[in-house]
Amino acid sequence: MFSEEPAPFSFTPSEIHQLLSFFESGLPVHSPSGSETGPSRTVYSVEERKKRRMLSNRESARRSRWRKKRHLENLTSQVNHSRLENRELKNLLCLASHQCLVAKRETDRLMTESLLLQQRLSGLCQILANMHLL
């Protein structure tokens, strides 16, 4: 069933290394002889890959710093908006408290006036009652 003949494709350690570097980098691979081993693929040396990775890391760090800066700006904006809203709510509370105090004073004044009027009415009723008795 299985024959003992060699596999139709065999790779040298150098070719295996090139293939692995192709898969790791995702970049174009060219064989050292200059002929392409894939569609516009180049094999980069370890140093070149390190440089490319360093540049990629720098760009990623730059984007991360930018996102962090934008997030901080958004938070600062939210804090300022919340402070303004808090100030407005405090002003409304102060106004409502003042109006409540004014209403309480007016209520107290009206209650006192009501008691005085009830006393006067009671006195007038007694006078009328005394006039009817006469």
pLDDT below 70 — which residues of the chain? 1-9, 22-42
Could you give the CA distance from residue 127 to residue 123 in angstroms, rounded to a whole number? Answer: 6
- The pLDDT mean for the chain works out to 84
Q: Residue 47: name the closest of 26, 25, 15 by CA.
A: 25
pLDDT digits (tens, 9 = 90+) for 51-76: 999 999 999 999 999 999 999 999 99
Residues 6 or more apart whose Cβ sits within 8 Å of residue 29: 18, 19, 21, 22, 36, 37, 38, 41, 42, 43
What is the token pair recorded at 105?
């004073």
For the entire predicted model, the pTM comes to 0.49
Decide: 35 and 56 in contact? Cβ < 8 Å: no
The residue written with tokens 């409540």 in the block is 100
